[in-house]
Structure 1
Amino acid sequence: MSDTIDIIRTDETTHGAYRAEVEGADRQAELTWKARGKARIADHTFTPPEARGKGIALKLVKAMVAEARAQGFTIVPQCPYVEAQFRKHPEWADLRAETPS
């Protein structure tokens, strides 16, 4: 597998996703989100079993972080994987939103 992946972004205003085709898999890797005000709740990350451990999910999270910086939204890392990445990357702390009520 190549080190570069093409990330497909969808934004339906109230929800969206970052997805990537995975060679040899029937399903795409994905990070899904829901909008709450100026925050996006990262609620689910999935990588097909045959592609796990290759950094694909991290690339999806980094794509979301890059867009948060460019577009001015914050992120609620509700998904355990996204939460773990926020702990590993303290430089993202300014993008972390409190859980909206």
Structure 2
Amino acid sequence: MPAFKDHAADRRFQQMFADADGTEHPVWAEYAVRGHARVILHVEAHPALRGAGAAGRFMQALAEHARAEGLTLIPHCSYAVAWLKRHPEYEDVLGS
């Protein structure tokens, strides 16, 4: 799996994924900091990756990152809300 990065100064999580031609493009989430929580404001995939499952793999990496770092996620983005509802195995990282 490609490297997941937290660009804390920009308050942005990002991960690169290859499209069908092998060209790498980003999937990212903008966030706000609330103590040990990260409020997920927006998740977006590069247009070349849409429909390829990259955003879902990114969300899995984001949830794993939160778990490893002792963070909780507060989703405000509709995609993040829906993804976390479909993946109860990450309920432990869901904040309120």
TM interval, shorter chain, is 0.7 to 0.9
Is 1:32 matched with 2:33?
Answer: no
User: TM-score scaled by structure 1?
Assistant: 0.76
Structure 1 stretches (4+) deviating beyond 6 angstroms?
none
| Counterparts in 2 of 1:14 and 1:38: CA distance versus 1, 3 Å | farther
Deviation at 1:27, TM superposition (A): 5.6
| Structure 2, unpaired ranges of 5+ | none
User: TM-score scaled by structure 2?
Assistant: 0.80
Q: Which has the higher strand share?
A: 2
Q: Which residue in 2 is equivalent to 1:77?
A: 75
| Structure 1, unpaired ranges of 5+ | none
Deviation at 1:28, TM superposition (A): 2.4
- 1-side partners of 2:51 and 2:81: how far apart? 17
* Structure 1 contact 7–60 (Cα < 8 Å) conserved: no
- 2-side partners of 1:14 and 1:37: how far apart? 17
Query: How many pairs were matched up?
Result: 94
